[in-house]
Structure 1
């Protein structure tokens, strides 16, 4: 049992586009009577997820309880960013009753667990649980690895080496560290896809894990809060590809920020993102667009060629500036080509 005097922290991890922000937005609306605080760790320098969550703020989780760490992985900036953020949240009045940390989609959760052993906070907080989100359709299709067949062929050709791709390692480490797995977007995967995704997760998990299907982030808070896992004391049961390494690198991935001009029709922007995913092997696109003549900003979220968009908030007094974050594996990034597709007017002016 976790020490009830400690402030419980839930870590929400998951592959790119698995639905972490949607889950936390729903949790903020239905916190099970708990006063929440949220820490958002983004990959890149645009606080998209933080803005989304602040737009969902309610009395049990006001905007001042939502903090962003937008430059660098939490576990790589423990002393400079993570510890001060946790300490600041604990000094809030009224004090939060539960902290939820949304990690970057590229983050490895186990190094973050190690951060909870820091002397400044280890006697004050405990990891109530690690929640891993997995996109049912993507897992069933094997998209956590760019070319699964090629990786398997390499392993078969040489049994003495392990040719894991960065994406598959991220996925496996997140599952291995979890206390519960939420299988998201089951409607897109269908029954066969859900069954296949569950089989993949069960094969990767180092121990038996509950797997719960979740649509649109809706889950009873009692399922994911109050697990009392004390995960910081249970790291041996959470194996990682990076065990024994002093640090981990994010050089396998890169983010590009693209400022985009106002668009006349959201469908035009969707078509550009779909083209980008096909031509440039882009993993993730997220951000905002200014649609001409519309008083609200357009929230855009894409996983590969699957694009979702909705008007989320009025622009109000904020500058009507469209901006997208594009994430890809390092070897696939071509900033010039990316900007030529998403912001052709800028690319033409630069020529």
Structure 2
């Protein structure tokens, strides 16, 4: 869809949705690293009490910040411990209205929803008269984990299949102007065909599907193209079927806070709880003795990965913090399992 002259004068907003670990934050981090010379407002919504994704995105924005700039030229708004699609009037609209009030300073709005967000209520907020005059939804981008979806297609008839989460993913796909299938370098040909068929059955007929891997984060041309789709999604969103019942009550989120940890012992302990508990996602930062950089730790299912991302800031507590999201979580048992990796302070 092409933008009309009316939409061209509006602030474009991109809504990025997708389930836990699909790659939403990685996508936004790549965009922010490349968006030099433009002011982007970023709205991040997380399930847990700690804004892990917001912290990661803030670090990416600062990488290209001019001297003396403390925000990377971007505005960051964080909504933790809940889903903004359920509190559009109370939490989301006031932020959009604040951005409209200084519209001449905003080039684009990026919205990363929580994993449980239903896109329709959020996009409908852009139809109100106070917002529709000034903003348009450039696109709804739904990110899905290619290997996870390929495996889920095989599990669909098994006892491990969760129909509530399947309904949630169906809702996210049915609202997508663009579906990004991530981690496709891990798919073989048969798995790719399985994912293609799954997306084709769920996504709108007019939508596009793009298979991507980690190289997208450095592909400036493709990242810029994602911010100029011009779908004006708010104009068709009412035609989308009403979303299924919200899955929030099926999900637990808890925060683990430790001191410095022995990295190998911590990763072994984390791998252990991933294999013995019903955990969808674990994400956070580890403080490692003798290391000036903080360690990003993230896991989807039983896949665990990590990297050092930035220096610890002066005065910042050298703590290990991990947000764990899953079902029927025993916080005390999880904390005890991880605490064995904690390094006693001298």
TM-score, normalising length: structure 2: 0.86
Q: 1:66 aligns with which of 76, 85, 89?
A: 76
Deviation at 1:295, TM superposition (A): 1.1
In structure 2, do the counterparts of structure 1 residues 167 and 321 end up closer, same or farther at CA, with 3 Å as the change threshold? same
**Does the 8 Å CA contact 2:120/2:243 hold for their aligned counterparts?**
no
**Does the 8 Å CA contact 2:100/2:134 hold for their aligned counterparts?**
no
Alpha-carbon distance in structure 2 between the residues aligned to 1:50 and 1:222? 21
Structure 1 residue matching 2:230: 3-state secondary structure: coil
29-38 vs 307-316, which deviates more?
29-38
In structure 2, do the counterparts of structure 1 residues 106 and 28 end up closer, same or farther at CA, with 3 Å as the change threshold? same
**Does the 8 Å CA contact 1:151/1:165 hold for their aligned counterparts?**
no
Aligned position for 1:211: 209
Aligned position for 1:223: 225
Alignment RMSD: 2.5
1:107 aligns with 2:103: no
Alpha-carbon distance in structure 2 between the residues aligned to 1:241 and 1:81? 20
Aligned position for 2:164: 166
1:83 aligns with 2:81: no
Q: What are the Cα deviations for residues 275-311 of structure 1, in whole angstroms up to 9, with x where unaligned?
A: 1121112000001111111111111111011111111
**Does the 8 Å CA contact 1:10/1:128 hold for their aligned counterparts?**
yes
Deviation at 1:241, TM superposition (A): 3.8
Gaps in structure 2 of 5+ consecutive residues: none
1:7 aligns with 2:11: yes
Q: For this pair of structures, how many residues does the alignment match?
A: 327
In structure 2, do the counterparts of structure 1 residues 208 and 119 end up closer, same or farther at CA, with 3 Å as the change threshold? closer
1:182 aligns with 2:176: no
**Does the 8 Å CA contact 1:295/1:315 hold for their aligned counterparts?**
yes
Alpha-carbon distance in structure 2 between the residues aligned to 1:226 and 1:49? 24
**Does the 8 Å CA contact 2:31/2:223 hold for their aligned counterparts?**
yes
Deviation at 1:101, TM superposition (A): 0.3
**Does the 8 Å CA contact 1:29/1:56 hold for their aligned counterparts?**
yes
Structure 2 residue matching 1:202: 3-state secondary structure: helix
Alpha-carbon distance in structure 2 between the residues aligned to 1:120 and 1:190? 48
TM-score, normalising length: structure 1: 0.85
Alpha-carbon distance in structure 1 between the residues aligned to 2:191 and 2:138? 30
Deviation at 1:345, TM superposition (A): 7.8
Aligned position for 1:156: none
1:248-287 superposed matches below 5 A:
248=246, 250-264=248-262, 266-287=263-284
Structure 2 residue matching 1:84: 3-state secondary structure: helix
In structure 2, do the counterparts of structure 1 residues 238 and 270 end up closer, same or farther at CA, with 3 Å as the change threshold? farther
Aligned position for 1:341: 337
Alpha-carbon distance in structure 2 between the residues aligned to 1:79 and 1:256? 26
1:151-162 superposed matches below 5 A:
none
Alpha-carbon distance in structure 1 between the residues aligned to 2:336 and 2:160? 35
1:149 aligns with 2:182: no
Deviation at 1:16, TM superposition (A): 0.7
Deviation at 1:336, TM superposition (A): 2.5
In structure 2, do the counterparts of structure 1 residues 241 and 152 end up closer, same or farther at CA, with 3 Å as the change threshold? farther
In structure 2, do the counterparts of structure 1 residues 268 and 194 end up closer, same or farther at CA, with 3 Å as the change threshold? farther
